[in-house]
Every structure is written in structure tokens, then in C-alpha cells.
Amino acid sequence: MSVPVYVASLIGFLTSTSCYYAVKYKHLLSVDDGLDIFGLHGVGGYVGDLLTGIFADNFVPALDGVSGSSYAGGWWNRNFRQLGLQFAGATTAAAWSFVVSCILLFIINKIPGLHLRASEDSEIRGLDIKYLEDVDEEGFYMNECILHGRTPPRCSGSLKAPTPVMEPVSVEGPEKKD
């Protein structure tokens, strides 16, 4: 199905608004989605599919010069069946994605060394310390150290090897002994 250009921006606005509120209120469902994949792609795809069924117009495919009037359009063209087809398609795609994702995640979780959840100790200490090297033991980000001009030992440079603290050197030359 195709929608007119002037309606595409409306579909984009309504879809992005639904994604925004899905991400904003995901805590109400106790969803642990750190990257907001479901709120953006799942909700956005589903709402976009339904809105396409509502706003599809029969003149858009005919612009190619080949299709003619073979497309019935969507809700706007009184093709009420199209919204049901869009709903069935979106629901089928969501169900397929859910089932395949569950199967793959189950298999991945059973492979040694590829567990889906971090250990409780790593969660308490912070995942930055476990997985990233730009955080020292005290939790200071190395990028912040560079930006704010902090010096060692506050900013050690890495978890692997702290940067040694250098003593100031005199620039006047060696001292004379009597």
C-alpha cells in the first residue's frame, strides 16, 4: 500500500509520538529494555502498519503508469478490508518476531560464556567497570578526566595499568654542590 506524500508526515508524527510514549511509560509494565528496541521498532512498526491501512490511497500506485486502478486503497477509499489486512500482517510479524527471538535467546543462553544476564556482582559494581575500559576503580570516566583536566592518580587512564605519578623536574639545570 502507498500513501500520499502529504499524509506520510502525519503518519510519521503519529508513529513517533506513539514510540515516545511507549518508551516513556515502559516502566509501568516493568519492562527491562535498555536500548528501547521494543518501544521504537515494535510499537513504531505496528502503529505505522495500521496507519498505512487507514491512509493508503488508490491513486498513488497508479502514478507509475503501469498499475492503473488495480489497487483499491485503504480506509480513505472506503476499502475497509485493508485495515484488517494490515492488522493481520502486523500481528503476524510481531508474533513471528517474538517466537523466533525467544528461541534464539534460549539457545544463546545455553552456550557457555554467552549468558543473557550479567552477574549480580557486576550489576552492583556497574557494567561500565566490567565491560568498558574507560572507567577506573573509583568510577571516574576517562573522558571526563580529559575534559576537566584532572591529573593522576584521580584519573588512572585504565583499569589495567594506572598511569604513574611523575615528580616535577627542575628546568634550571643540576644543582652545584660545594
Same domain for 85 and 138?
Answer: no
The DSSP letter of residue 103 is H
Same domain, 100 and 30: yes
pLDDT digits (tens, 9 = 90+) for 27-75: 898 887 888 999 999 999 999 999 999 998 887 766 666 666 777 888 8
Residues 71 and 134 in one domain: no
Domain shared by 100 and 153, yes or no: no
**Residue 146 lies inside a defined structural domain of this protein:** yes
Residues 42 and 16 sit within 8 Å (Cβ to Cβ): no
Res. 158 pLDDT band, cuts 50 70 90: very low
Mean pLDDT taken over the chain: 78
Instruction: Tell me the C-alpha to C-alpha distance, in Å, between residue 153 and each of 99, 137, 150, 168.
Output: 50, 11, 9, 15
At 98-122, the pLDDT tens digits run 999 999 999 999 999 888 887 888 7
Choose the final residue of a domain: 79, 98, 116.
116
Residue 51's closest CA among 91, 18, 86, 94? 86
Residue 152 lies in a domain: yes
Same domain, 156 and 73: no
C-beta of residue 147 within 8 angstroms of C-beta of residue 156: no
Are 107 and 136 part of one and the same domain? no
Q: Are residues 36 and 108 in the same domain?
A: yes
Domain with 125, as residue range(s), is 118-165
- Rounded to whole angstroms, how far apart are CA atoms 159 and 137? 7
The answer on 101 and 20 residing in a single domain is yes
Asked, for residue 86, whether it belongs to a domain, the answer is yes
pLDDT score of 139: 54
Backbone angles phi, psi at 127, to 5 degrees: -75, -20
Same domain, 107 and 134: no
**In angstroms, rounded to a whole number, what is the distance separating the alpha carbons of residues 48 and 94?**
13
Give the mean pLDDT of 144-169: 50
55 shares a domain with 111: yes
